[in-house]
Structure 1
């Protein structure tokens, strides 16, 4: 973890609040790009980040070939007339080849993916012709090159097929497979240690005392981290004592590339994260101009980054999406990653507060006019976990607005990245 700037200096913004943009920038400035590379089987490369450019040693496709089932012809030499009759002189399947050169008055029956015969430049689809034994007739005009895939039109030999820093999704796995790759070099998989805090937090399987809650945040964080391809080290629920916090933080930092806690960052009398981090590492305790999720702790134990997220379930997810996700993506080696955002039309008045970004849970869709519209899920309390289940996006209302009205345009952040 790089140490630049004054991210951990409590005097950097005394008594004030950081914007979301400032907070992300300050966090990312502390994070070094990865250097550890390992070779993995292509089948195991999903959700990993490519560590080196992958260059194709051959053209894709290797040969000019047919994109449709039909007949290969030489359109260049067709005379201008209302209908055409050609003699079928052969047949070629994908993986095979036609021996010889096609004459202007000849055609070869061809299947999708088969190499184009010498002398041919176009394909007439099967449905457009009438065949009688070894003769075909058609009347449609033929454009030179129609239904033909050119040699190297996808990837040229010697060109970069995939650049270092790209996330390997199923489509990248397919492309790498088309290049004959069995193994690929990827950046080291990240391990992330997580734990919950609070004497009121109870593990599943135990009786639920009055005024206590079952732990939800570790399971939410586990799902988010696994979706990102991280290995999760689950440290359970930690009691509210500074000694316990110090012990767990020190141990977690040796087991993982990042440590995340939930709860204990609201500066209450029983919130010991700040004191524990000051004792075993560095801490920046911030108030971020956002809702939900204003309290945020960020620091390090040795070279291991630490995030202290709020305790409310929705605030945990929102702060993870805004701060933890971009940090992990940089640590994974993804280059210039940004969350997906789109403009949508608000279907209702949405209240906010000037001076902070509001992240409302929303449902977006395409209306009958083909417009992208969005509405909220209703009540927006940071403990209303069902609102995240009903939602498919966050509605981002900027600091300068106290509300948006129905018909106004707003930014939305779809859950497609992770949720």
Structure 2
């Protein structure tokens, strides 16, 4: 076995969260490579080029309601009676409105020339070939104006946007059938630990199931990454170096779980330093202090801790925004927190900022409250299934029941 130099490892000063995140984002570079895909295949991809409207939407003034198109100059007060001169369903085009008449009109149909309002049918009464308008409208009522959504050639979706269903609908509405998107980010991952066994296999003495790889792959899949799994790697310095080099040769980003601490069997840190650079190691948060970040043969590397909760938290706080920027996103890289009152006391704060597994729900009075999980152990994976977010507990600050703190819902982190 090669000398890994583990005995010479010294602990650097803990880096504040904000400083660590800034470092990561400054070093994140969007992948090169763009592909053009039909709308049906763009969900979750990141837009590489702007989407401009091909048409004006709506293309003409149209009715927002079922009712009667009228000219307000013909209104004589409540109960005005007008003959119905035409019927305009959606998809048809009416004739100019004759003075002193109304046109039966339906939602989405073009408002006929000379009409300046639509009266909703609920305040009208049909009487033979006439309509009685019980409540005359103001000019412009219930009319959707041409171009009030988009104008032709207007940019409607900016580059760097992750495409969600509403973006696909908008692109379709403005006549765009395909989008230029960044290619998928390829991430190579492996787990280190001789004690790990794949789920479904029998456990031997001292062995545990490899949940971390499945958690990490699930997190990456949720972000739309192309995942290359190298499986489990033997806990030796040479095997770790070989796996890192192999991963860097076939991916845009290398991620690992476990082996980033300072134990005699933790080889990732010295292996990364041999093959490249280690730009960051320890962060002043709990859980999640040992997070390794660097480059292997020019390829970014993120090494998450082996404890399953710590892996999850560090991925959400650091790896996720880094990956989003590598995918080409320019906004929304970090989560938007909520604020709510805690339903517990926090008499012994940590010197590090704590991200407690928590659940935000309404109490009996309908007021949002944050509950914390009973255990702070970073090995209790079931706590994440119980939680629906993370409560941010400030460093060195005593908290009492009823105090407000920030809450990061999983919907903002996953």
TM superposition score category, shorter chain reference: over 0.9
Is 2:152 aligned against 1:157? yes
Residue 228 of structure 1: aligned partner: 223
1:98 to 88, 94, 109: 94
Is 2:282 aligned against 1:282? no
In the TM superposition, what whole-angstrom CA distance separates every residue of 1:35-56 from its partner, at most 9, and x where no partner exists?
Answer: 4221111111111111111111
8 Å CA contact 1:274, 1:285 repeated in 2: no
8 Å CA contact 1:352, 1:397 repeated in 2: no
In the TM superposition, what whole-angstrom CA distance separates every residue of 1:307-336 from its partner, at most 9, and x where no partner exists?
Answer: 110111111110000110010011111113
1:130-209 residue pairs with structure 2 within 5 A? 130-209=125-204
Residue 19 of structure 2: aligned partner: 22
8 Å CA contact 2:53, 2:175 repeated in 1: no
1:389 to 385, 392, 404: 385
2:372 to 353, 372, 376: 376
Is 2:340 aligned against 1:341? no
CA distance in 1, matches of 2:12, 2:341: 36
Higher mean C-alpha deviation, range 285-294 or range 189-198: 285-294
CA distance in 1, matches of 2:50, 2:299: 28
Pair 305,94 (structure 1): closer, same or farther in 2 beyond 3 Å: same
Residue 84 of structure 2: aligned partner: 88
Is 2:81 aligned against 1:53? no
Residue 325 of structure 2: aligned partner: 330
| Number of corresponding residues | 404
Residue 234 of structure 2: aligned partner: 239
TM-score scaled by structure 2?
Answer: 0.93
Is 2:253 aligned against 1:258? yes
Is 2:58 aligned against 1:65? no
8 Å CA contact 2:54, 2:175 repeated in 1: no
Alignment gaps of 5+ in structure 1: 1-12
In the TM superposition, what whole-angstrom CA distance separates every residue of 1:205-243 from its partner, at most 9, and x where no partner exists?
Answer: 321113221001111111111111111111111110111
What is the SS of the residue equivalent to 1:15? coil
Offset at 1:253? 0.8
Pair 405,271 (structure 1): closer, same or farther in 2 beyond 3 Å: same
Offset at 1:200? 0.9
8 Å CA contact 1:203, 1:237 repeated in 2: no
CA distance in 2, matches of 1:76, 1:297: 73
What is the SS of the residue equivalent to 2:27? coil
Residue 321 of structure 1: aligned partner: 316
Residue 122 of structure 2: aligned partner: 127
8 Å CA contact 1:228, 1:418 repeated in 2: no
Offset at 1:127? 2.0
What is the SS of the residue equivalent to 1:118? coil
CA distance in 1, matches of 2:117, 2:366: 37
TM-score scaled by structure 1?
Answer: 0.92
1:355 to 334, 351, 366: 351
Offset at 1:370? 5.3
Offset at 1:104? 4.2
Pair 144,370 (structure 1): closer, same or farther in 2 beyond 3 Å: farther
Alignment gaps of 5+ in structure 2: 1-9
